[in-house]
Amino acid sequence: MAAATTAATISSNFLSALLLLFLVYALGGAADESHQLQHRHTIHLHQDKANIPTHAEILRQDEARVKSIHSKFAKNKGQGSINDAANLPAKDGSVVGSGNYIVKMGLGTPKKDYSLIFDTGSDLTWTQCQPCARSCYEQQDPIFDPSLSSSYSNISCSSTICNALTSATGNSPGCSSSACVYGIQYGDSSFSVGFFAKDKLWLTPRDTFTEFLFGCGQNNQGLFGGAAGLIGLGQDYLSLPSQTAAKYNKYFSYCLPSSPSSTGYLTFGDGGGVSKSVKFTPLSTIPPGPSFYGIDIIGMTVGSQKLPISASVFSAGGAIIDSGTVITRLPPTAYEALKSAFRKQMSQYPLAQPLSILDTCYDFTNYSTVSVPKISFFFKQDVEVPIDGKGVFYVNDISQVCLAFAPNGDDTDVGIFGNTQQKTLQVVYDGAKGRLGFASGGCS
């Protein structure tokens, strides 16, 4: 196992606080639509007076996360029965003041529930823990108190499992009065440090794991909103899918809801069968790494136009899929082709100022509906994944609505299929079979 994962700037993906984009009907709609319109989304616009996240800050955090992911790969360069499923409702994290996606899980005996961010770009699960010896940020749920859980125990420094932290966190474990100490930091200098511990995990009241290994955080800082901590869904040994592999065979799926008022899901196990609408692409081995989920992009379309990008542009750096990166990052050569096609097909709308890393923004002040070209990704084995209408734009306000894609610095940097573009898709991670699956219309 190689050095692992950092990742995970906990950043908001929520464009929708100020302006909600309502997708009224997607493509393939009415019979009288022209061919051109079948390749476009019609989006209705209206103002929402909800409180405003600072978008420049969100994008800055997103960039920090991506830098941290890139630095991981830079180091690497040159080198049971699954009929049971546990289904958890997933919410847009803005309900707890965090932008990432959260689910509630139970911990301890007796069980108490915690809202946790789920992250496919890291491995260690942790929650803030009493007595918060150094520092806990404010969270919505009462903070986990190990002294009130009869099933809690510390992992000792002499335990071999203590050493698994090196690969799961990228940092060697510490030792304090014979208790194993973990430390994990994320892209934007958010971090959690505390005791490595085990306790009973409750995915649902009947899906429980008695000796779940997690971090009991005594010093936690960063942009986790009011979430109690984070669930690591990476591929490393300590991740939740790995620890529950005997039951779920490293199979999980989610759907990221398109707005704070809708609900998606995070489900472990295939529930006895995979929906026929799910199309699978093999997990990619480029880029290499024990934690991230690699995906081979082979092409993209905008409207009816296939972008003129040679396959070698995408394969130079490879790509990963990440639930914690907001904006999809493309090789600059691919981004230029996307931008140029998108701008051409959106030429009837006035451009606006760029927003941080986003350089293709529109001023929709004078429009109540806009018609937007459909964007599709093609992954290995010709799996077409059409991006939902709500996955195209990052909205600052109605006068600055930006194409939610950004270029990497270099074609050899790893690309990232981010969470804005994953909205409403059913996304399946099948670790045992080494494949990723996609279907449209997983949630609203």
Q: Which residues would be at the binding site for ligand NAG (CB under 6 A)?
A: 146, 152-154, 176-177, 179, 195, 350, 363, 365-366
Q: How far apart are alpha carbons 32 and 25 in whole angstroms?
A: 14
Where are the strands (E) in 112-205, listed by range?
112-119, 126-128, 153-154, 174-176, 179-185, 191-204
Q: How far is CA 385 from CA 241, 309, 379, in A?
A: 24, 17, 8
Q: What's the token pair of residue 345?
A: 């097909």
199 a catalytic residue: no
Q: Which of 62, 119, 188, 388 is catalytic?
A: 119
Q: Is 22 helix (H, G, I), strand (E, B) or coil?
A: strand
The pair of structure tokens assigned to 400 is 């600055």
Q: Shortest Cβ distance from residue 170 to ligand NAG (Å)?
A: 23
CB nearer ligand NAG, residue 104 or residue 111: 111
Task: Indicate which residue of 207, 322, 388, 430 is catalytic.
Answer: 322
Residue 307 is classified by DSSP as P
Q: Which is nearer to ligand NAG, 181 or 338 (CB)?
A: 181
Q: Give least dist CB 128 to ligand NAG, A.
A: 15
User: Residue 192: CA atoms inside 13 Å, Cβ hemisphere, count?
Assistant: 31
Kindly provide the b/e burial profile for residues 315-351, where b requires at least 16 CB atoms within 10 angstroms of the residue's own CB.
bbbbbbbbbbbbbbbbbbbbbebbbebbbebbeebee
Minimum distance from residue 232 beta carbon to ligand NAG (Å): 21
Closer residue to ligand NAG (CB): 70 or 200: 200
Sign of the Cα torsion 44, 383, 266, 136 reads negative
> Given the complex with ligand NAG, which of 100 and 396 has the nearer CB atom?
396
User: Least CB distance from residue 197 to ligand NAG, whole Å?
Assistant: 7
The residues facing 90 across adjacent strands are: 103, 264
Q: Which of 231, 159, 233 is nearest to 197 (CA)?
A: 159
Q: Which residue has the tokens 């999980």?
A: 252
Task: Yes or no: say if 268 and 429 are a contact pair by the CB < 8 Å rule.
Answer: no
| Minimum distance from residue 362 beta carbon to ligand NAG (Å) | 9
- Name which of 146 and 187 has its Cβ closer to ligand NAG: 146
Greatest alpha-carbon span in the chain: 73
How far is the C-alpha of 66 from the C-alpha of 417, rounded, in Å? 11
CA 298 to chain CA mean position, Å: 21
Q: Which is nearer to ligand NAG, 155 or 230 (CB)?
A: 155
Sheet holding 361-362, edge to edge: 351-352, 361-362, 400-403, 393-397
CB of residue 354 to ligand NAG, shortest distance in Å: 15
Closest distance of CB 216 from ligand NAG, Å: 8
Q: Is 322 a catalytic residue?
A: yes
Of 363 and 397, nearer to ligand NAG (C-beta) is 363
Which residues carry out catalysis? Answer: 119, 322
